Structure 1
Amino acid sequence: MKNVMRKGELFGTIDLDTISNKTHLYGLGPLEYLRGELLIVDGKAYKSTVLSDSTMQVEETFAAKAPFFVYANVANWQEHTLPDSVQTMPQLEVYLDEATKTATRPFAFRLKGTVQAAHVHIVNLPEDTKVSSPQEAHQGQATYTFQDAEAEIIGFYSTEHKAIFTHHDSNMHLHLITSDKSKMGHLDKVKFGAGSMKLYLPQE
């Protein structure tokens, strides 16, 4: 991520189709040249791109490259009910840290259920734009908001990978996709309804 944001290395460094083991594969990152978002959910890859300020295109395809990408194969998940006290991303980050003190890190995780409200963005860098800072990298991005949506969130948690695959101020990187696969993007802000979400952690 640092190479992209600070050094402007926007070109694809990984072709998703070259990840050989796609069984129970999960992953996320931006599309090359910061022209969209990528997400892999249980071996199925999705690419979202901006159509307008209010609409996006989501297609299922492994024919995509990313300048950075984080992925893992997770065959077995342990289901937890997310506590009602966890309703925002900062609260989720604290909860994950406390709940996984003895677990192997970094790790992938999933959330499924009804999202009360969410803000996601899709990077949409204008062609030939030079990037040397996170602010420049997010030029042209589109932000979408929605309420009461059935969705799945794929996230990666690490305390060791700030500016590598999580942002410099967070231990998490999350992408959200609605259950009808019509909306997908980088999750910026969320409000979980009480009792509405299931959390899935890798089974040790």
Structure 2
Amino acid sequence: MKKSALLFGLFISFSTLNAQVRHVGAMSEMGKSGFAPTISLDSLRKYKGLIALGPLGKMQGEITAVDGIPYTGIVTPEGKGSIQSEWQVEAPFLVYANVEEWEKIPIQGQVGSIQELEKLIESTLMANGVDLMTPLPFRIEGKFDRMTTHIVTPRSADIPGYVEGRNQANYEHQGESGELIGFYSREGQRIYTHHDSFMHVHFLSENRDFAGHLDRFQSKLDQMVIYFPKERIAGN
């Protein structure tokens, strides 16, 4: 009986641990170290429900992982956004979690900025009993009206892909379908969210040929749903 109870306790602990948001490195510190890597994405390959965001290598692209599959946005020599799907890559900082089961709820409204999107996500999740006091990943699928995204590019001439005077390539999207993949955290500012936001969000196109960091956002969200880890309803 004691052995069964111990195994059950270990299972619960492992399940809870898997759902936790983790990070390595920090957004505010990576430049000070010359964008030195803090993690290899391959070390997370064992997580079947991996969701992760961060920059690639020495600012050579945008790492987006979802459902255990990496989609790294890079800039081609012609300046277009493209995808490479490799595990053998590194990041100067990364936020990640292992989520194998998602809950979904409808999201309603029209927003004109990322700040308004953040407020709508907060109010929607809180109204449905989701605990926002600890970090959580989220996803929103749909066809979005207008977005601006970017993919970071190298800061140093000794890194492949460097273009003088350019730190990122910017992209405009109109009426494009795909998925917003993000992390919400009240404790992650300057670590894996910017100093003025509780969110870090990437856009992954529906046909999986583009992934970039979300900078601006305007869209009607009616008839869409937001996904969050199933066990994150308060009281569960």
Alignment TM class, shorter chain as reference: 0.7 to 0.9
Q: Note closer, same or farther for the CA distance 1:117–1:52 as it changes in structure 2 (3 Å cut).
A: farther
Gaps of 5+ in 2: 1-26, 159-164, 232-236
User: Deviations 1:47-77 (Å, cap 9, x if unpaired)?
Assistant: 1111257512212111210000000011221
Q: Answer yes or no: is 1:145 the counterpart of 2:172.
A: yes
- Secondary structure of 1:126's counterpart equals coil
Q: Does 1:29 align with 2:54?
A: yes
- Separation in structure 2 between the aligned mates of residue 26 and residue 10 of structure 1, nearest angstrom: 22
Give the conservation status (yes or no) of the 8 Å contact 2:101–2:229.
Answer: yes
- Please say if residues 53 and 142 of structure 1, whose CA atoms lie closer than 8 Å, have aligned partners that are also in contact: no
User: Shift in Å at residue 139 of structure 1?
Assistant: 4.4
CA distance, structure 2, for counterparts of residue 12 and residue 22 of structure 1: 20
* Kept after mapping to 2: 8 A contact 1:114/1:193: no
Task: Kindly report which structure 2 residues correspond to 1:47-62, keeping only aligned pairs within 5 A, or say none.
Answer: 47-51=72-76, 54-62=79-87
Off by >3 Å, runs of 4+ in structure 1: 85-88
Aligned partner of 2:68 among 9, 23, 43: 43
In 2, distance between residues paired with 1:158 and 1:194? 22
Q: Give 1:125 deviation, angstroms.
A: 2.0
Q: TM-score, normalised by structure 2?
A: 0.76
Does residue 165 (structure 1) correspond to residue 208 (structure 2)? The answer is: no
Number of the residue aligned with 2:30: 4
Match of 2:109 among 63, 80, 84: 84
Once the two structures are aligned, what percentage of the paired residues are identical? 33
Task: Calculate the aligned-residue CA RMSD, in Å.
Answer: 2.1
Structure scoring higher RCO (CA < 8 A, sep ≥ 6) equals 1
Contact 1:117 1:146 in 2 (8 A): yes
Residues of 1 paired with 2:221 and 2:130: CA distance? 27
- Given that residues 110 and 219 in structure 2 are in contact (C-alpha distance below 8 angstroms), is that contact kept between their aligned partners in structure 1? no
Q: Offset of 1:4 from its aligned partner?
A: 1.2
Kept after mapping to 1: 8 A contact 2:193/2:199:
yes
Matched with 1:97 is 122
Considering fraction of residues, name the structure with more helix.
Answer: 2
Distance 1:87 1:78 in 2: 26
The question of whether the paired residues in 2 share the 8 Å contact of 1:120 and 1:188 is answered with: yes
How many residues in Structure 1 have an aligned counterpart in Structure 2? 195
**Cα shift at 1:203:** 1.2
Instruction: Give the structure 1 partner of residue 202 of structure 2.
Output: 175
Letter aligned with residue 154 of structure 2: L
- Higher-Rg structure is 2
